[in-house]
Chains A and B, each alone.
Chain A
């Protein structure tokens, strides 16, 4: 077990370098440069543009830029400077990540709790009215694009009913994140429900369940321990991968509810061609993905004792 974790952690190193290099190259390949966009419609003075490019090392060859960047990041935990604002990227990250964690955390809790409940419910009643109703609802949720759902919920709950604020005014107030989290988690909720449902419905017919029932175990224990544990493996795999997607992919939701999180910052950095900011953000997302997938793999053993790690 310990050796397995150590090996997995070591494997993260090449993945980490590979992703950062790829992103670096991709940003470099984009047309334009981040300095020319800073001057608005007014032409910038060529001297100031040249001086700024020099200051941020943009006049160096690409491999040198990458080397310098990695050196600063690894040796000094220095993620560079956001060119537009002149702020250290670590500050930008420090502002955006807590906000995103709140949003993604709430969305994750929402999809996991509600998704599992609905999935178990519909799996246990496979083929009956409850099951069909839930399947229909999830189909609807999967097919409605996020921005449509976002605007509808915003209009109904904020403008018409006035239950919640239409946008997030205070980043530290978790209640304001409820509506955006619901919007963000909805599509995943539908997937979690469907995965759980299929898995439960299938395992319900498995031999070990028949044995458990035959042993005379109470139904609560049959479902809660024997059935759930074995059925959760695909769901946990999905949830693990989804955590990263919730954090980095919330661009649309953040936009609708005016949340200043990671997704919006990433989108903005791409438009402004801010390589350093982008890589800083994505590096942390990559780490989140890697850790989440490690956690998922470790959870397999907990869920299914037959799985062993060497």
Chain B
């Protein structure tokens, strides 16, 4: 569309000379700049903070909400946002003071009650919030969200108490020293009273306390966000707003970017990776994100949980040529994994390159030997199960199998086992029907080493799909959570990670990067560790 942008420019120029206002998709009435357009996917769930568990909805929440903490886009460190101070003496009882002067965009003050009400809502079973498990550390959770399917006996968490307008206390059911650092996650966002009094109205047009407000929301096609001029926080948006456009296919979004119809694409399609450098030059971003892909195993299956199985798993790990696959299939948008966390944590945050050691190094000879010592592949063949409908998983699963087959010198050692739809795939995992390794991806909720280990490998944890269980690991995690010295806590978590390694509980494959491409109009574009663009910093010329 070469014609229309020119028309837009002319219109903008006219508007600028006439009233010196911003141009873009409507009257922004702001002196901070124009509105940019960005690709988006239809959020899978209603945009409630405790109900949004995927990146598309999370993108919006990141723009319209600010929580007690915010993760630094560079370092991933949790920094105080609405929190004035979070105090504890025992890592179990916390006193949280909310900063003065914050309001929601409808004028309502953000108080301690805004948080407590929001958290109670998220934890209550009757509201069916998908992120309810984030509140499981708070005392009283079993009463509001019973495990056994019985009726909930409490509406609110007994561990939450409002002290005064700006102070509330949290009592956890166990020691959890890094609890304050988890509070940057969207599920912990405060909610205005209108959320509870006019829920349907709020869902149509969510109201939050972040740097942007929602101007209009046409479900399934687009959302117009505008900079909130009176935003009280330090990270006010420097542009006039963002228009999120729903694309069902990221190829179309890329085409629109190339045609000048769209400013920002935050998911460059795999098929374009080869020419993205020549198309966009340095307007292409490829930075690490807090996502790791692993192969998990069904520990409920006796074949995979017997003496020697760990050797078979380690052997498989050593039969996978990660370097080659990330190079040829992913064009370097993935990095070979050498631990079970993510580079975005940084050395201080617990990422330890090479923690996996030999076990993640490609060595066909050693792989053959290990598998032989472990009693061979169960049934003579491994089937890697994956869902075939999203994420082009087929390509890499085939490549992994190829690599295994070549290493073992057996054409039939490994085959892919596609499941038609994601819904069915999750269903089969839930029903414990996996018969061999299966694809598992983990996108962190908050940049803490705890989040890469506990939900995935702790006994009966929420995302422990393979049902792996190890007493030593559980004990180390408990110890690390109770540890008040952060550095010591991280060291203990790393010891727990070593237990994962020694058992090869899951085979780490690669760390995923976030990618984005943008038009010449934009500058200062970067992705945060959640692979979401830092919208409020983007300048539009």
Chain A positions within 8 Å of B, measured between CB atoms, are 30-34, 36-52, 55, 84-87, 91-92, 95-96, 154, 158-159, 161-167, 169, 171, 254-258, 260, 264, 268, 271-273
B146's nearest neighbour on chain A, judged by CB, is: A47
Q: Which residues of B contact A46 (CB under 8 A)?
A: 149, 430
Q: How far apart are the CA atoms of A47 and B145 in the complex, in Å?
A: 8
Write 24 A-B pairs (CB below 8 A) sorted by A numbering. Answer: A40-B53, A41-B463, A42-B53, A43-B429, A43-B430, A43-B462, A43-B464, A91-B219, A95-B218, A158-B1, A164-B1, A166-B1, A166-B255, A167-B247, A167-B255, A167-B261, A169-B245, A171-B221, A256-B249, A257-B252, A258-B248, A258-B249, A258-B253, A258-B256
Contact of B132 among A37, A45, A154 (CB under 8 A): A45
Whole-angstrom distance from the CB of B464 to the nearest CB of chain A? 7
Q: Which residues of A contact B428 (CB under 8 A)?
A: 31-32
| Residues of B11-58 whose CB lies within 8 A of A | 42-46, 53-54
| With A42-B455, A164-B1 already in contact, 7 other A-B pairs whose C-beta atoms are closer than 8 Å | A31-B419, A32-B421, A36-B426, A49-B430, A51-B128, A52-B128, A166-B256
Contact of A44 among B4, B130, B147 (CB under 8 A): B130
A160's nearest neighbour on chain B, judged by CB, is: B2
In the assembled complex, B232 has its CB within 8 A of some CB on chain A = no
Whole-angstrom distance from the CB of A117 to the nearest CB of chain B? 29
Q: Contact at A36–B427, with CB atoms within 8 Å?
A: yes
Q: Contact at A84–B45, with CB atoms within 8 Å?
A: yes
In the assembled complex, B440 has its CB within 8 A of some CB on chain A = yes
Given A42-B455, A84-B44, A165-B4; A55-B128 close (CB under 8 Å): yes
In the assembled complex, B185 has its CB within 8 A of some CB on chain A = no
Contact of B261 among A169, A256, A271 (CB under 8 A): A169
Q: How far apart are the CA atoms of A85 and B43 in the complex, in Å?
A: 8
Whole-angstrom distance from the CB of B516 to the nearest CB of chain A? 19
Contact of A154 among B247, B255, B422, B465 (CB under 8 A): B255
In the assembled complex, B408 has its CB within 8 A of some CB on chain A = no
Given A159-B258, A169-B245; A41-B440 close (CB under 8 Å): yes
Q: Contact at A51–B441, with CB atoms within 8 Å?
A: no
Interface centre among A42, A55, A84 (most CB of B within 10 A): A42
Interface bits B42-76 vs A (CB < 8 Å: 1, else 0): 11111000000110000000000000000000000
Contact of B427 among A32, A84, A91, A162 (CB under 8 A): A32
Given A33-B427, A47-B125, A84-B45; A272-B149 close (CB under 8 Å): no
Q: How far apart are the CA atoms of A42 and B421 in the complex, in Å?
A: 16
In the assembled complex, B129 has its CB within 8 A of some CB on chain A = yes
Interface centre among B219, B424, B426, B465 (most CB of A within 10 A): B426
Chain B positions within 8 Å of A, measured between CB atoms, are 1-4, 42-46, 53-54, 125-126, 128-130, 132-133, 145-147, 149, 203, 218-221, 245-249, 252-253, 255-256, 258-259, 261, 389, 419-430, 440-443, 455, 462-465
Q: Contact at A162–B1, with CB atoms within 8 Å?
A: yes
Contact of A39 among B1, B4, B130, B255 (CB under 8 A): B130
Q: Contact at B259–A165, with CB atoms within 8 Å?
A: yes
Q: Contact at A159–B130, with CB atoms within 8 Å?
A: no
Given A42-B455, A159-B255; A48-B220 close (CB under 8 Å): no
Q: Which residues of B contact A42 (CB under 8 A)?
A: 53, 442, 455, 462-463
B4's nearest neighbour on chain A, judged by CB, is: A165
Whole-angstrom distance from the CB of A310 to the nearest CB of chain B? 47
A50's nearest neighbour on chain B, judged by CB, is: B149
Given A31-B424, A40-B54, A159-B258; A271-B389 close (CB under 8 Å): yes
Contact of B441 among A41, A84, A165 (CB under 8 A): A41
Q: How far apart are the CA atoms of A271 and B261 in the complex, in Å?
A: 29
Q: Contact at A95–B255, with CB atoms within 8 Å?
A: no
Q: Which residues of A contact B42 (CB under 8 A)?
A: 85
Q: How far apart are the CA atoms of A154 and B252 in the complex, in Å?
A: 10
Q: Which residues of B contact A161 (CB under 8 A)?
A: 2
Whole-angstrom distance from the CB of A101 to the nearest CB of chain B? 16
Given A33-B423, A41-B443, A43-B462; A260-B256 close (CB under 8 Å): no
Contact of A32 among B43, B248, B426 (CB under 8 A): B426
Whole-angstrom distance from the CB of B103 to the nearest CB of chain A? 28
Q: Contact at A167–B252, with CB atoms within 8 Å?
A: yes
Given A44-B130, A158-B259, A258-B252; A85-B421 close (CB under 8 Å): no
Contact of B219 among A47, A85, A272 (CB under 8 A): A85
Q: Contact at B463–A87, with CB atoms within 8 Å?
A: no
Q: How far apart are the CA atoms of A167 and B421 in the complex, in Å?
A: 27
Whole-angstrom distance from the CB of A78 to the nearest CB of chain B? 16
